[in-house]
Structure 1
Amino acid sequence: MTKHCLMVGAGLSGAVIGRMLAEAGHRVTVLDARGHIGGNCHTERDADTGVMVHVYGPHIFHTDDAEVWDYVNGFETFLPYKNRVKTTSQGAVYSLPVNLHTINQFFGQTLRPDEARVFLESKADTSISDPQTFEEQALRFVGPELYEAFFKGYTIKQWGCSPSDLPASILKRLPVRFNYDDNYFFHKFQGMPENGYSAMIGRILDHANITVTLNTPVSRDQAAGYDHVFYSGPIDGWFGFDLGRLGYRTLDFERFDYRGDYQGCAVMNYGDVDVPYTRITEHKHFAPWESHEGSVLYKEFSRACGPDDIPYYPIRQVAEKTLLAEYVAKAEAEANVTFVGRLGTYRYLDMDVTIREALDCGRRYLATLETGEPMPAFTVNPL
């Protein structure tokens, strides 16, 4: 029997699930509160410079998931791109993640890999045997000098609190390399969509069984009448924030234009706490196969997310997790709605993980139609 399903949100989750159901013969309605598809992955050409702009901050595709890589390449050509981040700290420019060049440059050394390991261990606070906080994790593995230069100020600006108040899990994989590899990611597949993410998502949504309507906020009551709802908005928003709001960090962007090449790289972090922004992104460098005289840049400022702001990073500290558990219990009592994506599950998700979970979710739903089992509120436990 043909179902009519609602996707709340025209980002990656709604598009991927919607496409799978549409290809299986079901009717899909996609509604989004914003005036464009793609969610925070939305890209658009700047009219003056021709630069492809990542409107809500840069998104770089990287994954070890071959199926996900093949999936996105089925809708858009991904060209090779390596993310090489620089940071300005204490009046000098260094490569991130911290690598052998960073260590040698910072300390004025010419250390080989084995020597650098021993050297860094001599700088580390070995009295910390079981790091509990972000600060303890950094001090244990890189010591106070590198922590102060590259982690402390940036983290204070990004999260709005002391690193001693953040869990060690945020720095779960300390990015230190004892070679000269300055590729920020280590995944097998890395690239950028030749024509931007919005073009890719537009093709995913381009199916006869899919109807997309923008500028249309959707409430819980308005979602009634569909056979099933896949909700990628904020989980607390589905319930009208009746238990309170989950905490997020949001970003403010200060755009400026430049003739020529402003900083010579796509991303320049600023580790000093007295510089108010966390980084400057120069968007033409995200498409190195293109050539543009003009340049579009954004300074990024992180702050607490208010009710009218776009939520970016879930905070997920003790208070938020407690509130989340209450919303999860309410969600599991709902009928015919599944919460998906970054906002629906209140988790920070890279794009490849979002797509993987959407593929799995769509398959799970189609399987329930065969077996008659109920579709769960979550296919991945948000807690």
Structure 2
Amino acid sequence: MNRKNILIVGAGFSGVVIGRQLAEHGHKVTIIDQRNHTAGNAYDARDKDTDVMVHIYGPHIFHTDNETVWQFVNRFTKMMPYINRVKATVNGQVFSLPINLHTINQFFGKTCSPDEAKALIAEKGDSSITEPKTFEEQALRFIGKELYEAFFKGYTIKQWGMQPAELPASILKRLPVRFNYDDNYFNHKFQGMPEDGYTCLINSIADHENITLELNRSFNHEERASYDHVFYSGPLDAFFGYQHGRLGYRTLDFEKFTYQGDFQGCAVMNYGSVDVPYTRITEHKYFSPWEKHEGSVCYKEYSRSCGENDIPYYPIRQMGEMALLDKYLTLAEAEQNITFVGRLGTYRYLDMDVTIAEALKTADDYLNSLENKQSMPVFTVSVR
């Protein structure tokens, strides 16, 4: 197999995982990123005053059922045990999320058994809604008005800038109700945090003699001719100069503050009321429970529509955006010697484990395309 000259745009998980796989097969890889750091939005760094490891762009918690992905990250870091236990302040009380038996009993002032709780929630649900089409209908059908308004309605309005009646029912399917006392937010076999942080993990993956890493460097279309193939993990619409307009995203603002001692006693505290302008407060030393710190670093997190100069976080993927996305996909599919990857390149919300799994698959697809002398597809996953 001839050694190829590869350009990868973006030094987040998508870019460095693809780069590592190709570098290990002898290809020459250049990874560029317009920011002054690696790891994309998973970037973390020590706070200079408290020495707390801070997730600069908001918390990232690693969870997966994919053993291949879990083994891959463990090649490059020690994954420490971590269970995400989210709390929510509602009506002057603190509850556990996701909604579980403790939440139900506390909220309704009951001492229900699992079967009694199931019956209670079934009674609260609106059985007249037979085929929920919206987020709101899904919630009213399966958990009822009281729990919906307490835990989901206000939080959703703040997070998405939309009424729940405008959002698809599929969003709520990711938020299970449990009829036991399990308050582990994720239901995955493997869960943890990299002992030395995500930035260290990313840098370790990128540390290979066949990889050249260049920060503070933006992508230039003219340089494509110098490479055999490009893997692009930047925004899809940006690649085409926003010629059809900008795809819709939500972005986040963070209000950082420090505290001497423990501020809230947990990593994540949600605030569901629309009267509270932020969606949650995160206390970052709780993301590294194996460390001990006297001081604490906290973020108040605010969600809003993404502007031209903002960092895009969550693709909206509503009807108007999907029509616009189709225009960009048509442009992309006419390209050659480039593959669009990752959250921004495919305009999809992706957890870290899915991002890594897709990157591993993309690298395999490219290696197979070389071996079989076939063209590499522009997308290796379904994006419509």
- Could you tell me the TM-score, scaled by structure 1's length? 0.99
Query: 1:329: how far off?
Result: 1.1
Distance in 2 (alpha carbons) for counterparts of 1:145 and 1:290 = 39
Deviation by residue 1:291-315 (Cα, 9 ceiling, x = unmatched): 0001000000000000100000000
Runs (5+) with no aligned partner, structure 1:
none
Residue 182 of structure 2 aligns with which residue? 181
**Aligned equivalent of 2:277:** 276
Secondary structure, aligned partner of 1:254: strand
1:249 corresponds to: 250
Whole-Å Cα distance in 2 between the matches of residues 371 and 303 of structure 1?
Answer: 46
> Identity over aligned residues, as a percent?
67
**What does 1:1-383 correspond to in 2, within 5 Å?**
1-383=2-384
| 1:224 CA drift (Å) | 3.2
Q: For 1:314 and 1:378, locate their aligned partners in 2 and report how far apart those are by CA, in whole Å.
A: 18
Q: Provide, for residues 173-217 of structure 1, a one-character-per-residue CA deviation record: whole Å limited to 9, x for no partner.
A: 442000000000000000000000000110100001100010111
Report the alpha carbon displacement of residue 290 of structure 1 after superposing the two structures with TM: 0.2
In the TM superposition, residue 220 of structure 1 has moved relative to its aligned partner by 2.8
Cα pair 1:229 1:336 within 8 Å, conserved: yes
State the AA in 2 paired with 1:227: D
Deviation at 1:223, TM superposition (A): 3.2
Distance in 1 separating the partners of 2:207 and 2:174: 39
Contact 1:135 1:164 in 2 (8 A): yes
Q: Given residue 40 of structure 1, which amino acid in structure 2 is its aligned partner? A: N
Q: Equivalents in 2 of 1:173, 1:235: separation in Å?
A: 26
Three-state SS of the structure 2 residue aligned to 1:83 is coil
What letter is aligned with 2:247?
Answer: L
The count of corresponding residues between Structure 1 and Structure 2 is 383
CA contact (8 A) 1:45 1:53 kept: yes
Q: Which amino acid aligns with 2:112?
A: L
Matches of 1:320 and 1:45 in 2, distance apart? Answer: 37
Normalization by structure 2: what TM-score? Answer: 0.99
Pairwise CA distance, 1:90: 1.2
The residue matched to 1:204 in structure 2 has which SS?
helix
Higher mean Cα deviation, 327-336 or 168-177?
168-177
For residue 219 of structure 1, report the CA deviation from its aligned partner: 3.3
Kindly provide the CA deviation profile for residues 83-116 of structure 1, in whole angstroms up to 9, marking residues without a partner as x.
0000001111100000000000000000000000
Whether the 8 Å contact between 1:13 and 1:354 is mirrored in structure 2 is: yes
Contact 1:61–1:192 (8 Å) recurs in 2: yes
Partner Cα distance (2:240, 2:225) in 1: 14
- Separation in 2 of the partners of 1:223 and 1:139? 51
CA distance in 1, matches of 2:250, 2:188: 27
For 1:372 and 1:136, the matched residues in 2 are separated by: 50
- Distance in 1 (CA, whole Å) between partners of 2:197 and 2:171 is 29
SS state at 1:119 partner: helix
Mapped contact 1:18–1:205 kept (Cα < 8 A): yes
Instruction: Give the drift of 1:144.
Output: 0.3
User: What's the Cα RMSD here?
Assistant: 0.7
CA contact (8 A) 1:193 1:200 kept: yes
The alignment partner of 2:221 has SS state of: coil
